[in-house]
Amino acid sequence: MRNLPELTHALVAAAVFLAFAAPLCAQTATSPAPLRRTIDLSAGYTYLHANAPPGGCGCFSMNGGSASVAFGLTPSLSVAADVGVTHAGNILNSTEALTLTTYLFGPRYTQRTHVGHVLPYGQVLLGGVHSASNFIFSNGGNGFSLLAGGGFDVPFKKHWGWRAVQMDYLLTRVPNGSTNSQNNFRVTMGLVYRFDRR
């Protein structure tokens, strides 16, 4: 009976060891696969809160669509290209119509994790903008553009996901006889097709 305390201590020590060792073994056995570089293709609806006329806000709404491709350099960092086309008719009761086309390129960072079903990302893209009408703009309506913002994707199948929302500040610099600068707000929603880079 004198060995009973020693036996009890040994059993307690073994139980504590197993309590910590079991989860570690299970974690090792079910460790997730390594993250991969991907290519993301997306297309969807785009709303643009535009500010084209000089002076004040002069704000109006434009509707259209956009498409993008992101080529993964690492599992999180990619190079993205985005093309968007938005249109508005009878702007500010002027009977004038306007179509804006943007083409942008730059880095995108995506927070990829093994848990959860949301992929948040941020991006800064640079490029150009073209106006298809002479409303407010001059010199053919061509200029510089910058897009900065981000959003999040929600995967729902192996390769498919929802672009639940993407919100961006869009700066366009098109000659308008005044500041030659327009501050716009863009919202995009759509579908994403994602596959591993070989």
What tens digit of pLDDT does each residue of 78-93 get? 999 999 999 988 777 7
Nearest to 109 by CA among 81, 82, 76: 76
CATH for 38-196?
2.40.160.20
pLDDT at 3: 47
pLDDT at 53: 59
| Model confidence, pTM | 0.76
| pLDDT interval class at 174 (50, 70, 90) | confident
Domain ranges of the chain: 1-31, 38-196
pLDDT, tens digit (0-9, with 9 covering 90-100), for 118-160? 899 999 999 999 987 655 555 457 899 999 999 999 988 888 9
Mean pLDDT over the full length of the chain: 80
pLDDT, tens digit (0-9, with 9 covering 90-100), for 97-109? 888 999 999 999 9
Distance CA 68, CA 190 (A): 11
Work out the burial of residue 52: count CB atoms within 10 Å of its CB; fewer than 13 is exposed, 13-18 middle, 19 or more buried: buried
Distance CA 37, CA 103 (A): 24
pLDDT at 34: 59
